[in-house]
Every structure is written in structure tokens, then in C-alpha cells.
Amino acid sequence: MERPVSYNVNPKPLEKDISIANMPEGHQGEGFFATKLSDVVGLARKNSIWPLPFATSCCGIEFMATMGSHYDLARFGSERVGFSPRQCDLLMVIGTIAKKMGPVVKQVYLQMAEPRWVMAVGACASSGGIFDTYSVLQGIDQVVPVDVYVPGCPPRPEAIIDGVIRIQDLIGKESLRRRNSDKYKQLLESYGIQ
Amino acid sequence: MLNCYMVKFLTKTIEDLSNLAMLTYERIKQRLIEKFGEQLTAFSEPYGMLTFEAPKEMNLKVLNFLFDDEELKFRFLTDLQAVHYPDDKGRELAVVYHLHNLVDNIRIRFKVFTDITNPDVYTATGLFSGANWMERETYDFYGVKFVGHPNLKRILNVDEMDYFPLRKEFPLEDQSRIDKDDEMFGRG
């Protein structure tokens, strides 16, 4: 039976055997290239994300498939999955977070160094999902700020890759001053951080 | 060669052994009634397991008797939990003990009922160390106060929780949620 996948409805032919990130905007001539520092930093950051998977349930199984050779998250510069929050850039919360686990998620987030990003993978991490009950946190955005939400119960590996690409877009375009801005400080203060 | 005396002796020994091994629900009930008389009530066998009730003040006396008695030997507490019957005034909370005789491989169920406004029940931790966490769980979800428990605090739910979530008056759904549109759930 044919089981179409909604993500790859438009087949994309392989352009080159090796794909290289696009050059940022800038001026070039004989022997020089001038561009903005933020673009270079963004380019470097977005193609070398170290994810920290906080996998608690079935979405974690989909994430394992995403890391495997078939879907291969390594193609996006994220093959180095770290289990130490101090060295990671991207907190991926994958699965149901019980209320008792909420402070643990927050603790892991606090241990990460700036700049840090958070991705909520799956319905449970995003909103509590089907577990509308006294014991389950109704979305991890109640304890930490979230950058990208990946829908699905559980999301297919394509959806997780889509989320990572959206995180990459955010990272690549982020202003170098954002983390020092008042707006960002207010956001963290609203979560009682710092 | 077996002579007739040896045969008789062996036969008697085998009978004794089989009698010892035959601990039945009838025998357990008989022993309990010999000891406690009219105080134990509601003997029945739902789903094939002997079940009975006692006044809540007597729970330790009954458990101690079942534990110490040389014939009954109920020395393993399989499980301990509570049930909430909101319509049964004066005996809303049932505390249920599941006991196992490991020698004869027989299980029984023992219940005490308590008023929900005064849910004090004596702790079984003195008799069964395993009752410690089970009683904490029962307290966590039903608010049964186990008198004499060494560390009666929440075990599974967050410490900040200010109610007992498995009591019937509390809906299953998280009441702190404000983003749900009731019309979407057919109850607008």
C-alpha cells in the first residue's frame, strides 16, 4: 500500500553531490571578500549546532530514527549529540514532561551557556498533548522559552528535520546583540531566570 | 522390604503433609472468626479472592494476627491502596491491603473503611517495611493519613500540589489550564 508522506510531496532533484552553504551577502573582488561579522558568525553557528536531546517518550524513538543513517541529522551539522548541557546549543525536549520533571528541564536550560535555543518536539512537549491531566506539564513553554515547536504525535523524522532547519534559520539570522537586549532580558525574567 | 508398620507410618506422614499444605479460604475464615468473632464482616470472594472488612481501629491487630499466626503466615504485603466511594457517607475511603502467604501461595484482600473528614488509619510500616512507599502513595493520591508513618509526604506528585487528585471530586483534566476552548470539546 502506498503511504504518501506529506513532507516530501514535491520531489527535489539532487543538485550536486556535495552541498555547500550559500555565501553571505558582501563585496568581493580580486583576492578579498568583505561581509558583515554577524553573517559569518551566524553561518558558522547555524551549521554546527550541538543538540542536547531531552528524550522522555515515544517522540524520542522518532528522534533516534532522525539521528540514524536513513534520515541522518548529521547532514545539517548536528551529528554531535551532547549529553552535557554546558557544551550544547540546542535543547531538544522530545516527549511528555510531567510536572515533576519541569524543574529538571529548567535546570538543564539554566546549565546551558548563551546563546542557547530550545525546540519542543511533539504535541506533549508543545502543549501537553493528549495528557490533559493533573500530573503533566501543559507545554514546556511554562518553564523555559521555546524557539520552535514541532507538531505531531509523534512527529515523523522529516518533521524533526524541518524543525532543525527552522532553528538554523533563526540562528543564522539572529542579531549578535539580541541576547543583550532588554526584550530578551524581559523574556528570561518572565520565566524567573537571572 | 517394607513391612506393614512402615507402610502405615509413611501413609500417615503423607496425609499429615497434605493436610498442612491445604490452607483453604474456609480455614482462613474459620481462624479469623475464632480470633475476632463478629468484628470482621463482609466475607466474600470477588474474582476468586477471599475479601473481608474490619473496623479501621483494628487494622493492625488483624494484620499482626495474619502475620504471626503459625498456620496463616501472611507475611508479604503485595499491595496497599485506597478507593474513594463518594456516595457511601461516613465510609468514603477504603484502604485495601493485598496479602500473600508465600509458603502456601494464597492471597487475600483486607479492607478498612474510614470517614473522609477524619481519614486517620494506623500505619503498617512497623510490620511491613514495604508499606512505607505504598502508604506515601496512598496519602499522595487519596489523602489517607497514616498515623505513625515515619515520613508521610508526597511521593509521586509535585510537592506544591494542594489536593488529592484521585478523589472523585477532582476532574481528571488539569484545572490550571486557561487556553482550552470548551466549545471545541462539546461542552460550551
Q: Indicate yes or no: CB of B156 within 8 angstroms of CB of A100.
A: yes
Q: Could you tell me if B35 and B65 are in contact, meaning their C-beta atoms sit under 8 angstroms apart?
A: yes
CB interface of A with B, residues 125-154, below 8 Å = 128, 132-136, 138
Q: Indicate yes or no: CB of A135 within 8 angstroms of CB of B157.
A: yes
Report pLDDT for A186.
Answer: 93
Report pLDDT for A4.
Answer: 62
pLDDT in tens, B51-95: 999 999 999 999 999 999 999 999 999 999 999 999 999 899 999
Q: CA of A138, closest CA in chain B: separation in Å?
A: 8
Q: Could you tell me if A95 and A59 are in contact, meaning their C-beta atoms sit under 8 angstroms apart?
A: yes
d(CA B156, CA B158): 7
Q: How many CA atoms lie within 13 A of A41 on its CB side?
A: 9
Chain A contact for B170 (CB, 8 A cutoff): yes
Chain A contact for B49 (CB, 8 A cutoff): no
B52: burial class by Cβ within 10 Å (0-12, 13-18, 19+)? buried
Chain A contact for B174 (CB, 8 A cutoff): yes
pLDDT in tens, B113-169: 999 999 999 999 999 999 999 999 999 999 999 999 999 999 999 998 888 999 998
